[in-house]
Structure 1
Amino acid sequence: MPLVFVGLGSNLGTTDETSTMILCRAFVALAELSEFPLIVSSLWRTAPVDCPPGSPDFVNAVAALFPACRHDSSEKVADEVLAQLQQIEREFGRVRGDVQNAARTLDLDLLICGALQLTTSALTVPHPRLQQRAFVLAPMAEIAPGYIVPGQNLPVEILLNATQIEGRPERDVQRINIFAPSVTL
Structure 2
Amino acid sequence: MKAVLALGSNLGRRFQTLQGALDVLFDAPGLEFVAVSPVYETDPVGGPEGQRSYLNAIVIVETKLQPRVLLDRAQSVENAFGRVRGSEQWGPRTLDVDLIVVGDVVSDDPELTLPHPRAYERAFVLVPWAQADPEGEIPGHGRVADLLAGLDRAGVWLREDLKLQRPD
TM-score (norm 1): 0.83
Aligned-pair distance for 1:181? 8.9
**Residue 27 (structure 2) aligns with:** 32
**Residue 161 (structure 1) aligns with:** 149
**Contact 2:129 2:136 (8 Å CA) reproduced:** no
Q: What amino acid maps onto 1:174 in structure 2?
A: W
Q: Give the percent of matched residue pairs that are identical in Structure 1 and Structure 2.
A: 34
**Residue 73 (structure 1) aligns with:** none
Bigger relative contact order (CA 8 A; separation at least 6)? 2
**Residue 9 (structure 2) aligns with:** 10
Between structure 1 and structure 2, the one with the greater Rg is: 1
Q: What amino acid maps onto 2:105 in structure 1?
A: L
Aligned-pair distance for 1:171? 4.1
Q: CA separation of 1:24/1:38 partners in 2, compared to 1, >3 Å: closer, same or farther?
A: farther
1:44 and 2:40 correspond: yes
1:118 and 2:107 correspond: yes
Bigger strand fraction:
2
Superposed, which structure 2 residues align to 1:137-176 within 5 Å?
A: 137-152=126-141, 154-164=142-152, 171-176=154-159
The unaligned stretches of length 5 or more in structure 1 are: 70-76, 165-169
TM-score (norm 2): 0.91
Q: Any idea what the Cα deviations from partners look like across 1:27-57, whole Å, max 9, x if unmatched?
A: 1012235542342111100000002001110
Bigger helix fraction:
1
Aligned-pair distance for 1:5? 0.3
Of residues 51, 56, 61, the one that matches 1:55 is 51
Aligned-pair distance for 1:126? 0.5
Q: What amino acid maps onto 1:27 in structure 2?
A: L
After superposing on structure 2, the runs of 4+ consecutive aligned residues of structure 1 that deviate more than 4 Å are none
Aligned-pair distance for 1:68? 5.3
Q: Any idea what the Cα deviations from partners look like across 1:61-88, whole Å, max 9, x if unmatched?
A: 000112353xxxxxxx111101111111
* Aligned counterparts of 1:37 and 1:47: Cα–Cα separation in 2: 28
**Residue 163 (structure 2) aligns with:** 179
